[in-house]
Amino acid sequence: MPMGPDRLRSTAAIPFWRDVRVLGVLAQIALAIALVAGTAWLGRNLLAGISRLGSAQFLCADGSSHLRCLFNFMNLPASFDIGELPIDYETTDNYWRALQVGLLNTIKVSVTGILLATLLGAFTGIAVLSNNWLLRSLAHGYIDIIRNTPLLVQLFFLYYGVILALPAVSDSLRPGLGIYLSQRGIALPWPVFTGSMLPWLAFLLLALIQFQVLWLILGQREQATGRPTNRLAWAGLSALAVAAAGWFLVAGFNDNQAVLVSRGARVGQARSTLEGLEALVLDRLRIASLSPADLEQVGPEALQEAALKVCVVEGSPSEPNLARLLRARNIPFHMEDFDRADQATAAYAEGECDVFAAPRVVLAGERGTLENPAGHLLAGVSELPVVLSLPSLEGLNLAGGARLTPEFAALLFGLVLYTAAFIAEIVRAGILAVHRGQSEAARALGLTEGQRLQLVVLPQALRVIIPPLTSQYLNLAKNSSLAIAVGFPDLVAVTNTIMNQSGRAVQVIILVMLAYLSLSLAISALLNWYNRKMALVER
Amino acid sequence: MAPLTQSAAPPRPARPLLASALGWAQENVWATPWQALGNLALLLFAAWAFRGQLARAPLLASVIGALWLAGLLWLAANALGHRPDPLSQWLKERLFASPPSALLTLVIVLWLAAAARGLVSWAIVNASFAGKGEHTGATWGVIFANFKLFMVGQYPAGDLWRVWASLALAAALVAALVLVLGPLRGRLRPARRLLTALWLLSPVVIWLLLRGLSPGSPLPPVETRLWGGLLLTLILTVFAIVVSFPLGILLALGRRSQLPGVPAWLTALVVGGLAAYGLWTYTLPGWPHATTVLERVLLLWPLWLALAGVLFQRAYRGNVAAAASTVYIEFVRGVPLITVLFMAQIMLALFLPANFDIENAYRVMWGIALFSAAYLAENVRGGLQSIPKGQYEAADALGLSTLQQLRLVILPQALRVVIPPITGQFINLFKDTSLVTIVGLFDLLGIANVVIAQPDWLGLRREAYFFITVIYYLGCLAMAQTGYWLERRTGLGVR
Residue A247 reports pLDDT greater than 50: yes
CA–CA gap between residue B269 and residue B272 (Å, rounded): 5
Q: What is the pLDDT of residues A485-510, one digit of tens each?
A: 998 999 999 999 998 888 888 888 88
Give the domain ranges of chain B: 34-125, 139-155+222-259+322-495, 158-216, 260-318
State whether A24 and B260 contact (CB < 8 Å): yes
Using CB atoms and an 8 Å cut-off, which of residues 362-391 of chain A contact chain B? none
Contact criterion met (CB below 8 Å) for A380 and A258: yes
Contact criterion met (CB below 8 Å) for A22 and A14: no
- B350 interface with A at CB cutoff 8 Å: yes
State whether B108 and A496 contact (CB < 8 Å): no
Instruction: Indicate the burial class of B264 (C-beta count within 10 angstroms; 0-12, 13-18, 19 or more).
Output: middle
Arithmetic mean of pLDDT, A144-164? 93
Residues sharing a CB contact under 8 Å with residue B241, sequence separation 6 or more, in sequence order: B372, B426, B429
Contact criterion met (CB below 8 Å) for B255 and B377: yes
User: Which H/E stretch holds residue B341?
Assistant: helix B337-346
How close, in Å, is residue A43 to chain B by CA atoms? 7
The amino acid that residue B186 corresponds to is: G
SS3 sequence of B77-130: HHHHHCCCCHHHHHHHHHCCCCHHHHHHHHHHHHHHHHHHHHHHHHHHHCCECC
Residues sharing a CB contact under 8 Å with residue B412, sequence separation 6 or more, in sequence order: none
Instruction: Indicate the burial class of B145 (C-beta count within 10 angstroms; 0-12, 13-18, 19 or more).
Output: middle
Residue A8 reports pLDDT greater than 60: no
Of B319, B321, B351, the CB nearest to A42: B351
Residue A123 reports pLDDT greater than 90: yes
Question: What pLDDT does residue A539 have?
Answer: 44
Residues of chain A in contact with residue B473, where contact means CB-CB under 8 angstroms, are 145, 148-149
Contact criterion met (CB below 8 Å) for A107 and A488: no
- A26 interface with B at CB cutoff 8 Å: no
State whether A132 and B105 contact (CB < 8 Å): yes
Banded model confidence at residue B494, pLDDT cuts 50, 70, 90: low
Contact criterion met (CB below 8 Å) for B465 and A156: yes
Using CB atoms and an 8 Å cut-off, which of residues 260-319 of chain B contact chain A? 260-263, 266, 282, 286, 289-292, 294-296, 298-299, 318-319
Residues of chain B in contact with residue A502, where contact means CB-CB under 8 angstroms, are none
Task: Select the highest-mean-pLDDT range: A101-110, A303-312, A444-453, B90-99.
Answer: A101-110
CA–CA gap between residue B382 and residue B414 (Å, rounded): 8
Question: What pLDDT does residue B188 have?
Answer: 66
Q: Which CATH architecture has domain A257-389?
A: 3-Layer(aba) Sandwich (3.40)
Query: Which is more confidently placed, A5 or A142?
Result: A142
Q: What is the pLDDT of residues A353-402, one digit of tens each?
A: 888 888 888 888 888 887 777 778 777 888 888 888 888 887 777 877 78
Residues of chain B in contact with residue A149, where contact means CB-CB under 8 angstroms, are 431, 469, 472-473, 476
CATH number for the segment(s) A95-167+404-535: 1.10.3720.10
Arithmetic mean of pLDDT, A267-278? 78
Percent of chain A with pLDDT over 90: 27
Percent of chain B with pLDDT over 70: 95
Closest CA to B239 of B278, B210, B268, B282: B210
CA–CA gap between residue B476 and residue B481 (Å, rounded): 9
Q: State the greatest distance between any 2 C-alpha atoms of chain B, in Å, as a whole number.
A: 110
Banded model confidence at residue A538, pLDDT cuts 50, 70, 90: very low
Q: How far is CA B302 from the centre of its chain?
A: 43
Banded model confidence at residue A64, pLDDT cuts 50, 70, 90: confident
CA–CA gap between residue A160 and residue B464 (Å, rounded): 12
Q: How many interface pairs between A and B have CB atoms less than 8 angstroms apart?
A: 183
Helix axes A406-433, A95-128, angle to 10 degrees: 40
- B354 interface with A at CB cutoff 8 Å: yes
CA–CA gap between residue B114 and residue A186 (Å, rounded): 24
- Here the contacts of A110-116 (C-beta below 8 Å, separation 24 or greater) are A110/A476, A110/A477, A110/A480, A110/A519, A112/A412, A113/A412, A113/A415, A113/A416, A113/A419, A113/A476, A113/A480, A114/A419, A114/A473, A114/A476, A114/A477, A116/A412, A116/A416, A116/A420
Banded model confidence at residue B492, pLDDT cuts 50, 70, 90: low
CA–CA gap between residue B114 and residue B121 (Å, rounded): 11
Query: Which is more confidently placed, B236 or B222?
Result: B236
The amino acid that residue A369 corresponds to is: T
- B364 interface with A at CB cutoff 8 Å: no
- Here the contacts of A145-149 (C-beta below 8 Å, separation 24 or greater) are A145/B473, A146/A417, A146/A418, A146/A420, A146/A421, A147/A421, A147/A422, A147/A425, A147/B476, A148/B427, A148/B431, A148/B472, A148/B473, A148/B476, A148/B477, A148/B480, A149/B431, A149/B469, A149/B472, A149/B473, A149/B476
Interface confidence, given as ipTM, is 0.88
Give the domain ranges of chain A: 5-52, 95-167+404-535, 193-252, 257-389
Mean confidence (pLDDT) of chain B: 86
Fold for B139-155+222-259+322-495, please state it. Answer: MetI-like fold (1.10.3720)
Which residue from A minimizes the CA distance to B426?
A148
User: Which H/E stretch holds residue A313?
Assistant: strand A308-313
Arithmetic mean of pLDDT, B189-200? 82
CA–CA gap between residue A378 and residue A348 (Å, rounded): 13
Q: How far is CA A524 from the centre of its chain?
A: 19
**DSSP strands (E only) in A348-481:** 355-359, 376-381, 386-389, 392-394, 397-399, 402-404
CA–CA gap between residue A457 and residue A478 (Å, rounded): 31
How close, in Å, is residue A527 to chain B by CA atoms? 15
CA–CA gap between residue B161 and residue B209 (Å, rounded): 10
Phi first, then psi: what are they for A355, rounded to 5°? -135, 160
Helix (H/G/I), strand (E/B), else coil: A91? coil
Residue A58 reports pLDDT greater than 80: no
| Dihedral of alpha carbons B454, B456, B457, B458, sign | positive
Q: What is the pLDDT of residues A411-445, one digit of tens each?
A: 999 999 999 999 999 999 998 888 889 989 998 99
Report the DSSP pairing between strands A355-359 and A308-313.
Answer: parallel
Percent of chain A with pLDDT over 70: 96
Residues sharing a CB contact under 8 Å with residue B3, sequence separation 6 or more, in sequence order: none
State whether A131 and B320 contact (CB < 8 Å): no
